[in-house]
Homo-oligomer: A and B are copies of this chain.
């Protein structure tokens, strides 16, 4: 059992139970090994979390590529709608919950959290830029504008303000339902 085969199992555990409550023994149990072996492989819990965050970022990138393929949208609203549909998909929900934990860690200045958060946002931003409508007057700025709106929407939804988020999007003129 190597690092690489451990990481998916560890990721599954933190997706289900959160990063904050993740301690070595439960993690080991979920991965079918012992705390002793986790430290043997990763050296330190901190290093384990850092590698795990990296793995999650790579997984997120792969998920984005796979789930969001398709022909290029015609309007900005369609771009937003596609992302939101993906983010709200039940299978994505555990990841969304974890995302805010990563943001919290990044906001506190923890390097590995910040790196993972940036990597994921870079990935999403790249996808957005590539999906901007063909005749868009400002694809680069527009992608950043949409990213900002999307993340604000997801945050409001995360705390139970989905109504506010919906009305905000409606008033944006993007007319995503």
Contact = CB atoms under 8 A, between A and B. Distances in A.
Interface in A121-151: 121, 125, 138, 140-142, 144-151
Contacts of A106: 100, 158-160
Contact of A96 (B107, B144, B169): B107
A112 interface: no
Contacts of A101: 104, 107-108
Contacts of A96: 107
Copies of this protein in the complex: 2
Interface centre among A101, A148, A153 (most CB of B within 10 A): A148
Interface centre among A118, A144, A156 (most CB of B within 10 A): A144
B160 A118 contact: yes
A95 B164 CA distance: 22
A86 interface: no
Given A107-B100, A138-B171, A149 B152 contact: yes
Nearest to A101: B104
Interface centre among A96, A117, A145 (most CB of B within 10 A): A145
A16 B151 CA distance: 26
Contacts of A103: 100, 103-104, 155, 158-159
A159 B114 contact: yes
Interface centre among A107, A153, A170 (most CB of B within 10 A): A107
Interface of A: 18, 20, 96-97, 99-101, 103-104, 106-108, 114, 117-118, 121, 125, 138, 140-142, 144-153, 155-156, 158-161, 164-165, 167-172
6 contacts: A20-B104, A99-B107, A118-B159, A144-B167, A144-B168, A150-B152
